[in-house]
Amino acid sequence: MRLDKKERSLLGLASILLGFLFVILLKTQSVAGSQAAARPETAVPSLIQTEQENQQISVDNERIRQELAKYAQGQSASTLAKQQLQEAQMNAGLVGVTGQGVRITLDDSKRAAIGQEDPNNFLIHEQYIREIFNALWNGGAEAIAVNGQRVTTNTEVFCGGSYIQINGTRQMPPYVIEAIGDTNNMSAALKFYRWFQLGDFEQQYGITRKLEVLTEVVIPAGKLREYHYAEPVKEGT
């Protein structure tokens, strides 16, 4: 097809226009899609956050109000203080407790790695213990101990090579984790990735991963540490 100059330029112009419009259209289309989704996202987490915090603070405020009411009623100061002390000891994990719960036993494999097998898969690592604690607390555990060491706010589970350091003591396998709380909730919370992986390791490499649901578990008291650096914030400062 032969075209003269005028025709060619007209056609060219039309094509350019067409291409241009097409690109603009594509751009607006993608904007239309992304815009609605992108912005409110950032507001939602901070909303949930403040709402949750509000709830927590109101619960705490209620607690203080109740205590103030007791003072106002003129209850004996020493009885109140003793009561509080007991409560705080219970919360902090300085009281031995008993109740229904679960017992988890983890142990290294009895056989050694052969050939290409990764020797790490034959051992219980400190990370597993931490992850199980996390899952148990998340499942509403009320008290946890491992090898008789009560888990408190300052409990570390740190790998020291052939042993694991817990509460400053050296612990060796088998690791027996005991937790008191609602056994259904705790068992459900345990069904997470690592738990199933450990199950696979049990079959393939012969480690031990055992879960027992018990009507009575006894968990010993933890120890209060001395605080040298942290000072209570004095109100009004």
Phi, psi for residue 107 in degrees, rounded to 5: -145, 150
Could you give the string, one character per residue 143-182, with x where binding to another protein holds by CB under 8 A and - elsewhere?
A: xx------xxxxxxxx------x--------------xxx
Least CB distance to another protein at residue 102 (A): 11
Q: Which residue's CB is nearer to another protein, number 43 or number 112?
A: 43
Tokens of 219: 């968990």
157-159 and 149-150 strand pairing: unpaired
Per rule CB under 8 A, is residue 193 in the interface with another protein?
no
Residue with the two structure tokens 């330029």: 9
Per rule CB under 8 A, is residue 18 in the interface with another protein?
yes
Q: Which residue's CB is nearer to another protein, number 93 or number 173?
A: 93
In this structure, what is the dihedral angle of CA atoms 111, 117, 123, 129, given to the nearest 10 degrees? Answer: -140
For residue 89, count CB atoms less than 10 angstroms from its CB and return exposed for 0-12, middle for 13-18, buried for 19 or more.
Answer: middle
Least CB distance to another protein at residue 128 (A): 11
In the region spanning residues 93 to 122, those forming contacts with another protein, defined by CB under 8 A, are 93-101
In the region spanning residues 26 to 45, those forming contacts with another protein, defined by CB under 8 A, are 28-29, 31-32, 35-36, 39-40, 42-45
In three-state secondary structure terms, 35 is helix
Residue with the two structure tokens 């103030």: 68
Per rule CB under 8 A, is residue 212 in the interface with another protein?
no
Chain centroid to Cα 81, Å, comes to 33
Of the residues 120, 138, 169, 204, which one makes contact with another protein according to CB under 8 A:
138
Least CB distance to another protein at residue 204 (A): 23
